[in-house]
Structure 1
Amino acid sequence: MLNKKIMILLSSIILLLLSAFAIMFYFNNDQKPKTLQASQYPSPPAETPIEKVTTEIIHDESKWTTNNTHDAEIIKVDDWYYTFSTDYKVAGTPLPGIQIRKSKDMINWTFVGRVFDNVTAEAKIWTNGGSTYWAPDVVEINGIFYLYYSVSELGTRNSYIGLATSTSIEGPWDNQGSVIKTKEGDTFTVNAIDPGIIIDKDGRSWMAYGSYFGGIFITELDKATGKLKNTDEEGTLIAQRQNNDYAIEGPAIMYNPDTDMYYLTVSYGWLEDTYNVRVARSESIQGPYLDYNGKNMIDISDGSFDTGTKLVSSYAFNNDSGWLGTGHNGLLQEGDDYYLTHNARVGEDLYWSHLHVREIIWTEDGWPVVSPERYAGKMKKPIESIKTENIVGQWEQIVLSRIDDSKATSTTLHLYENGKIDDENGEDYWELKGDSLKLYWYEPGGAPNDYWIDTVTVLPQWDWENWQPTLVFTGLSQDGTAVWGKQLPLEDKE
């Protein structure tokens, strides 16, 4: 009899233990995602986390890496990536020259030097003493490098775009004089700064340029000289804001042969805080350029706040002060891979300006979006597909409002194993097909078919804020709002 009671007691204890283990197993699986293999994530970009503010390097250009970068344009030559940028220095006076840096991986950058020691006499006289070069762009045509630069009298249309050429990307450079000059009171409306050069699908050269004054124009270049094909014309207006109270500048254009479309990027906002990058596309390089919602980039009827599909703007994930002034972008196409560069100022000290490089991901309907994390290299072993078990868990989400350009912060998002969002019994839910994740947000009577839908792409990236591998998502909401996400936490798994 005693043995029977002991057996029943032992059986009860075993059942209780098994139940406890089952509950723990379910809880842990519900809270933590099953990660990919380590080789399927990018490697750490450095041995230890990279500090955003490092005062000891202020006067040592050899250690600047991404620091003190502004208005950088990017080009690949042989096995090197190069950026040319406006001279900038924390707690110092900018020098006249154009900064050059190079990198093998777009992560670790070496300072090469500067183009020119002083502004040319012609440009200085035209701009009433302009002392520095702004916003360069460089392109290679038939073995010759064409470097376009700006000089301007701040706050006026007394501006000058010039050209220098070289047979070597690192120089020396020969100045070729002006490409276009504008002056207060002339017959032009454009402001001659911020050149962005693009070779179209037919091999013709074009320059997009301009700023607050009159907006962004595009004009054809003479490939033999690199200068304007029609010297007395400013070109075609392709983007503008309502007036000079609303910033627009820094144009760049890329062509995607898969969509047979041209994509215009411009920056809105003020460079120290609200700077943000917008995109629109066109079947013709001369426009019209329409955003995700079909709005023409020259349409100022609504004040142009909601014109242009936002790609990146000031933001902060948890455990980090975030980044401000995320604008003035450059574009790079390398085979099937596309990248966007832009300025970024440190959240806790906006005088520190860094270079950011981000992967561009294309939506199913042919729109570019960018990774919420900076580029940290390619994964060593490509993934075949993201699985549902990889998605389950806690995420941070950032929504980049089309209207509000102030710093966007993250909120917590929980994706449950049963397909629900935040509430296991709620109406919001998610679906995964391949690497495409759809988030369904229930709003009966307000949304089409009662649900707003965010469509995002999931991919492995390096988490710069928490210094670990992670999964991220990036995409657009139903109304063309950029949506970012980052998964937390992650287990170590080989």
Structure 2
Amino acid sequence: MSINKDILPKDHLYDESIIDNEQLWTTNNVHDPGSFKDGDTYYVFSTDAQVGGTFKPGIQIRKSKDLINWQWVGRAFSEVPKEAKDWTGAEGLWAPDVVKYGDTYYLYYAASQFGKTQSFIGVATSKNIEGPWEDQGEVFKTKQGEEGPNAIDPNITFDKKGKPWMVYGSFFGGIYVSEINPETGKLVHYGRGKLIAKRHQSVEGAIEGPYIVYNPDFDYYYLFVSYDSLFSNYNIRVARSKNIEGPYVDFNGHEMTDLFLPPNDVGMKILGGYKFKGSEGWVAPGHNSVLQDGDDYYIIHHIRAAKDKRWHYLHVRKIVWTEDGWPLVSPERYAGEGEEPVEIEEIIGIWEIINVDKNNNNQILSKELKLSLQKMIGTNYVERIGENRYIFYLNNGFPSEVVDGIVMPGWDWEKWCGTYVFMGKNIKGEVFLGKLINGY
């Protein structure tokens, strides 16, 4: 596949010259992105968060024709809706999500204050995805000091019968799911719904940003969540279920509500902070949405620049699926590529490999190794098992790992050239990501 490098925007990190010019923000200042495709246009709605300048509330909106170049649209509101403001005292809105029931768009949002559970999920409607939006008030709210969920981070997903459900929640009480009435956009049965994921208080119950997507090819619902601190060591985990109300289990069969196992043993980790050689890398990827576009799936998330973590940006990455039905995420941002047959001779050479270690949620450094066709003791070699399916035998640089995965074309954003990328997992469900460093 030929990637058109002429349309790819180069990174300009820490650019203080654009702080007061929203039209130039592009992927800057995106946090907790919710995604939606309307016709031939992709939209991202995101939290009121920005570096410097005069803070403005209202939910940021951006759009794109290619998932690569992003244009500022505006804000959904000019202020925090009164009902949400009165309940929470919030100065801004968090974690929006957009869906469409019939001919009406529904914009879900959260209002709260950091570290509190006096929280509010509301909804607004519009006949146009770019607004104007009319607030419809409360969907669900929680009260400070009461045990249970925290009413933030709403995501609307549809089950295989077409019924909408809201998954929501965060630190403190865990992640819950409850059915939505598409006629009103509000809960069928008012209340917290069913608990589907929770972490132990030894890690401050650090789970949030839930997103559920149904994949009909495997007949599973996939629950994506973010672990740990959004400021430093965010990482994305996934589990799946045959039922939208759970139980959701990870690759090793651990339920997402398990509070007895070590907290990092639960949830299949698919992306965390990383660093390829010759770059400063990225940290704290998380609070993702998943965009299904025909047969293609993309993970859309925010991430922080490593040298100054105040700066957060939008990343879009391709999702591929293993033969046994698990999502894996490209180590490089989307640049227009897709899956295609890859000949083994094209991928022989020097690779940088990242072990997405479930117990190391800080920035993980890549390891450089040479892949060959020769099956020799102490060497790293590769075996082709399908058009773009490969097994990497890593015997030098890693403790004898056999990693089954997918190779596809990609764009090396660090070296600004085409390359091949690899996404795979071993028999324990540990994920490995890599790129061919001599590119093409």
Calculate the TM-score normalised by the size of structure 1: 0.85
Identical aligned pairs, as a percentage? Answer: 47
Shift of 1:41: 3.4
The DSSP-based 3-state class of the residue aligned with 2:418 is: strand
Name the counterpart of 2:59.
98
Paired residue for 1:460, among 392, 406, 409?
409
Structure 2: which amino acid aligns with 1:157? T
Q: Is the 8 A contact 1:419 1:431 kept in 2?
A: no
Counterpart for residue 26 of structure 2: 65
Q: Which residue of 2 aligns with 1:418?
A: 374
Which residue in the other structure is 1:13 paired with?
A: none
Deviations 1:173-211 (A, max 9, x none): 11000001110244x611100001001111111000010
2:303 pairs, out of 340, 344, 363, with 344
Q: CA–CA distance in 1 between the matches of 2:247 and 2:3?
A: 39
Match of 2:217 in 1: 258
| Conserved? CA contact 1:86–1:99, under 8 Å | yes
The one-letter code matched in structure 2 to 1:73 is G
Q: Residue 85 of structure 2: SS of its match in structure 1?
A: helix
Q: CA separation in 2, counterparts of 1:437 and 1:324?
A: 28
Q: Which residue of 2 aligns with 1:316?
A: 275
Q: 2:426 aligns with which of 456, 477, 485?
A: 477
The aligned residue for residue 26 of structure 1 is: none
Question: 196-205 or 43-52: which moved more?
Answer: 43-52
Higher helix share: 1
**Within the alignment, does 1:236 sit opposite 2:194 as a pair?**
yes
C-alpha distance 45-463 of structure 1, shift in aligned 2 (>3 A): farther
Provide the rounded CA distance (Å) in 1 between the counterparts of 2:150 and 2:159.
23
The match for 1:10 is: none
The residue aligned with 2:240 is 281
Inter-CA distance 411–427: structure 2 relative to 1 (3 Å threshold): closer
Deviation at 1:279, TM superposition (A): 0.3
In the TM superposition, what is the alpha-carbon distance from 1:475 to its structure 2 partner?
1.4
Which residue of the partner structure matches residue 133 of structure 1?
93
**Would you say the 8 A contact 1:45–1:107 is kept in 2?**
no
**Equivalent residue letter for 1:327:** G
Alpha carbons of structure 1 residues 118 and 49: separation in structure 2 relative to 1, 3 Å: closer
Distance 1:468 1:203 in 2: 42
User: Which residue in 2 is equivalent to 1:391?
Assistant: 347
Deviation at 1:426, TM superposition (A): 2.4
Counterpart-to-counterpart distance in 2, 1:328 and 1:153: 17
Does the C-alpha gap of structure 1 residues 402 and 355 become closer, same or farther in structure 2, counting only changes over 3 Å?
Answer: same
Equivalence for 2:436: 487
Shift of 1:442: 5.4
Q: Over residues 420-477 of structure 1, what are the superposed CA-to-partner deviations in whole Å (9 max), with x where a residue is unaligned?
A: 5xxxx5265321122111123459xxx9xxx642112000001100000000100112
Cα-to-partner distance string for 1:275-298 (whole Å, 9 max, x where unaligned): 111000000000000001110000
- CA shift, 1:118, in A, is 1.1
Deviates most, 327-336 or 410-419? 410-419
Q: 1:375 aligns with which of 334, 351, 361?
A: 334
How many Å apart are 1:94 and its aligned residue?
3.2
| Partner Cα distance (2:344, 2:223) in 1 | 35
Following superposition, the deviation at residue 93 of structure 1 comes to 4.8
What amino acid does structure 1 have at the position aligned with 2:178? Answer: T
| 296, 305, 315: which one aligns with 2:255 | 296
Give the CA deviation at 1:246.
Answer: 3.8
- Aligned partners of 2:335 and 2:410 also within 8 Å: yes
Q: Rg bigger for which structure?
A: 1
Question: Which residue type is aligned with residue 464 of structure 1?
Answer: W
**CA shift digits 1:115-163 (9 cap, x unpaired):** 1111122211211x21110100010111110100000132121000001
1:160 equivalenced with 2:120 (yes/no):
yes
Q: Distance in 2 between matches of 1:480 and 1:45?
A: 37
Q: Which has the higher contact order (CA 8 A, sep 6+)?
A: 1
What's the TM-score, normalizing by structure 2? 0.95
Of 370, 376, 381 in structure 2, the residue corresponding to residue 429 of structure 1 is 381
Please say if 1:179 is aligned against 2:131: no
| 8 Å CA contact retained: 2:369, 2:380 | no
- Identify the range of structure 1 (56-65 vs 191-200) with the bigger mean alpha-carbon deviation: 56-65
Counterpart secondary structure, 2:86? helix
- Tell me how far 1:55 sits from its aligned partner: 2.1
Range 358-367 or range 83-92, more displaced:
83-92
Match of 2:312 in 1: 353
Alignment of 1:34-45 (within 5 A): 40-44=1-5
Unpaired segments ≥5 residues, structure 1: 1-39
Aligned length: 436
Q: 2 CA distance for matches of 1:285 and 1:93? A: 41
Shift of 1:96: 1.4
State the shift of 1:222 in Å.
Answer: 1.1
Partner-residue secondary structure (3-state), 1:329: strand
| Contact preservation (8 Å) 1:41, 1:470 | no
Q: Which of 48, 60, 68 is the equivalent residue of 1:107?
A: 68
